[in-house]
Amino acid sequence: MIAMRESRLEVDGETYVVRELTAGEDGDVLEAATEWDMRGKPRVRVGRLNLGMVAASLKEWSLKDGEGKPLPVNETSVRGLPRHVFYRLLEEVSKLNELSARERNF
């Protein structure tokens, strides 16, 4: 199996591990964020795209619920993150999933 790039972040005393998306995950996230108008023209909902990218890229975190149990890593939990934490994670996820010039021109 090919090793996926990962990054560990500390934000407000919590640990987050994000990883590079697979090709399938990338396609699924983009498809879920795309709407089609009546003329068949696609429109990407950027907020949905960003949320999907972060949720799919999160491998683990140290967050706990009100009872001290590990908070599940899923889109619902990601929606509850403070904005500054979400955007820090999005920044790191974007770096991990950025295409090189060679990859973009393939």
Work out the number of other CB atoms within 10 angstroms of the CB of residue 65.
10
Structure confidence by residue, pLDDT tens digits, 33-62: 999 999 999 999 999 999 999 999 999 999
> Domain limits of the chain?
6-99
6-99: what fold?
Answer: rbstp2171 (3.30.2220)
Q: Is 56 exposed, middle or buried (0-12, 13-18, 19+ CB in 10 A)?
A: buried
Place of tokens 């590079």: 20
List pLDDT tens digits, range 11-27. Answer: 999 999 999 999 899 99
**Cα-to-chain-centroid distance, residue 97:** 10
Q: In Å, what is the CA distance from 60 to each residue of 17, 23, 55?
A: 5, 20, 10
Average pLDDT of every residue of the chain: 91
pLDDT per position as a tens digit, 81-98: 999 999 999 999 999 988
